[in-house]
Structure 1
Amino acid sequence: MENKRFKLFNTYVDALSFDETIKEVEDIIVEKKPTQHVVINASKINLMQQDDKLTEIVNSCPLINADGASIIWAAKKLGIPVVERVTGIDLFTKLVEISDKKGYRIFLFGAKEEVVTKVKSIFENKYKNIKIVGYRNGYFTEVDEFEIVQQIAASEADIMFVAFSSPKKEYWINKYLNEMNVPFVMGVGGSFDVVAGVTDRAPKWMQEHGLEWFYRFIQEPKRMFKRYIIGNVKYVMLTYKTKFLLSR
C-alpha cells in the first residue's frame, strides 16, 4: 500500500477505494496486530495545524482514509490521485455487515447509554449472526479508564468502534491501543447517533455533491458555525497557500 500513500498538508492520505479499504481492514484483522484507523476531513486537518500530538497520532496510523469531500477537492487542487471518498459511517456500517457474515467480534464504545444500547439492539435485530461482545457509553472519568481497558481486552473483540469526537478519540485510542489488544480500532465520531436515529444523515444527493457539511450546519447553525463556516474558509486558504508553495 506504500505507493498509494500521499503527503497532504502536514499529514498523509491513502488513495484507496472503498473495496480496497475493506481488504486492508480484513488483512489487519487476520494479522491480529492492534491497529488504529483514522479518517481525515477539513475539520481534522484544521485541528492538526495547531495540534502536533494529534498530527503525530494520525501520521502513525497504517490506514488513513479520505472521509470528507473537502479532502477530494484539495487532493485534486494539489495533484494527488485520491478519487474516492471512504466515509467513516459507510465503512463502519459495512464492517458491521461483514462481521455478521464472517464472525468478527465487535465492541461498541461511546455516545450516551441509551444511544449505544439502541445501536446494539438495531444491529442484533438486523443481523442474526452478529457478535457484539461488549459495549459501553462514552461517559467516564480518568479513574474509570483502567477498568474500561480491561473490559475491552477481556472481550477479545476483533473490531472496536469508538464514538467520541475529535481529537478525544484519536488521543484515547492511541493511549490504550496495545493494552486493549483489539486488531482494528476505528473512531466513528457521531455515527452511533446516526444509526440510532438521534441525528439525520444528509440526503443521498447532498452526499454525492459534497454537501453533508452544509446539511449538518443547517441542523445546528450556532454550534456548527465555527467548525463549518470559519473552518472551511481556513481550509480553503490552507489549500491555496499549499498549492502556491508547491508551485514555487
Structure 2
Amino acid sequence: MQTTVCQEKRLGDNPRITILNTEIDVLNVNETIALVEKYVQTKTPLHLMGVNADKINEVNQNAKMREIVNSCGVINADGVSLILASKYLKKPLPERVAGVDLMQSLVALSEEKGYSIYLLGAKQKVVEETSEVLKKRHPNLKVAGIHNGYFKENDWPDISAELKDKKPDIVFVGITSPTKEYLIEYLQSEGNNAVFMGVGGSFDVISGNIPRAPLWVQRANLEWLFRVMQEPRRLFKRYFVGNWKFIAAIIKEKHHGKAEENE
C-alpha cells in the first residue's frame, strides 16, 4: 500500500552521523533504552530502526527504503561491520546495539514500568512460544496480543484495527525486509502511535527454535558467521557478497571524502 513517509520527531539530543547516505544515531544500548522510553511515556510515534551492512546496501538501492530509514526518530547501529566502518571513517559509533538484546531489554523495561507489548510476526507456533517464554521470564509482563507473520497486504487494515483496539505501547515486528518497514509505515499512517521495532528473526531465537551464538562468539564479533552456518542458503549472499559490497562502498566514501577535503 502506498503511504507517505513523514519525518518523525526526534526526542534525543544526541548527535547523528551519516554513512553511505544513511543517518545513524550516536547512542549506546542504555542511552537507546532511555530514549525509547521517552517515546513511550509521551505517546510519540516511533519507528525504532536498526541498520547493518545489509540494510545500508538496501538503502542505496531502494529510494523508498532510504526515505523510511532516514525519517526514523531513532536509528541504531546493529552490526559490527558498521561500528568498524565508523571508526575507519573517523566518526566512531560507541557500540553495536544488537536488535535481539535491545528487544529483550525493552521487554524487561515494559514489565518493570507496566508497558504493554504486542508480538507480530513469525509462524503461529513460534510467536506463541515467544510469548510464553517472555511471560515466564517476566511474570508481570503485559502481552496485549500476538499475530503471526503470514498475512498479505490486504490484511494490513485488519492488523491496524487490532492494534488500535489493543493499544500496545511497543510492537515488535518479526517479518522480513522491506515488507517490515513498509508495514510499519502503513500502521503509523493509520494512527497507531506505538513504538514499532523491527526485530527480524528474534522470535526464533527467543523461542529457542534457532540457537543464538555462544557468548564468546558474540564477543569475537563473529555472530554473523554463526548465523551463516545455521542458514547458509539464505544468508550466504547477504553476508559474503553483501559485506564485500559494503566494504567497497566504505573505502570509496573514505577516499571521496579525502578528495573533497583537498579541493
TM-score (norm 1): 0.97
Say which of 70, 75, 80 aligns to 2:86.
75
1:125 alignment partner AA = K
Is 1:202 the counterpart of 2:221 in the alignment? no
Asked if structure 1 preserves the Cα contact closer than 8 Å seen for 2:160 and 2:192, the reply is no
Greater fraction of residues in helix: 1
| Contact 1:150-1:180 within 8 A present in 2 as well | no
Answer yes or no: is 1:60 the counterpart of 2:83. Answer: no
Amino acid paired to 1:218: M
From 13, 33, 52, the equivalent of 1:22 is 33
State whether structure 2 residue 19 is matched by structure 1 residue 8.
yes
| CA contact 1:118–1:196 (8 Å) conserved in 2 | yes
Partner-residue secondary structure (3-state), 2:18: strand
Alignment counterpart, residue 218 of structure 1, candidates 213, 225, 229: 229
Give deviations 1:116-139, integer Å, cap 9, x for gaps.
001111111221111001110011
Displacement of 1:24 after TM fit? 0.4
1:38, CA displacement in angstroms?
0.5
**Which segments of 5 or more consecutive residues in structure 2 lack a partner in the other structure?**
1-11
Amino acid at match of 1:94: S
Q: How many pairs does the alignment contain?
A: 248
CA drift of 1:11 comes to 0.9
Q: What are the ranges of 5 or more consecutive residues in structure 1 without an aligned counterpart? A: none
- Structure 1 outlier segments of 4+, above 2 Å: none
Of the structure 1 ranges 227-236 and 204-213, higher mean CA displacement relative to structure 2 is found in 204-213
Corresponding residue for residue 143 of structure 2: 132
Q: CA deviation at 1:2?
A: 4.5
Aligned partners of 1:34 and 1:177 also within 8 Å: yes
Structure 2 distance, partners of 1:3, 1:196, is: 34
Q: TM-score, normalised by structure 2?
A: 0.91
- Taking only aligned residues, the RMSD between alpha carbons, in angstroms, comes to 1.1
Preserved contact between residue 17 and residue 25 of structure 2 (Cα < 8 Å): yes
2:122 to 98, 103, 111: 111
- Where does 1:103-182 land on structure 2 (aligned, <5 Å)? 103-179=114-190, 181-182=192-193
Q: How many Å separate the matches in 2 of 1:16 and 1:142?
A: 34
Show the counterpart of 2:104: 93
State whether residues 37 and 184 of structure 1, in contact with CA within 8 Å, keep that contact through their aligned partners in structure 2. Answer: yes
- 1:230 alignment partner AA: V
Secondary structure of the structure 1 residue equivalent to 2:117 = strand
SS in 1 for 2:39: helix
> Quick one: distance in 2 between partners of 1:77 and 1:35?
30
Give the 3-state SS of the residue equivalent to 2:209 in structure 1: coil
Offset from partner CA, 1:170-216 (integer Å, 9 cap, x none): 11101221425233110000000000111111111221222111111
One-letter amino acid of the structure 1 residue matched with residue 29 of structure 2: F
State the match for 1:239 in structure 2.
250
- Taking the aligned partners of 1:64 and 1:236, their CA distance within structure 2 comes to 20
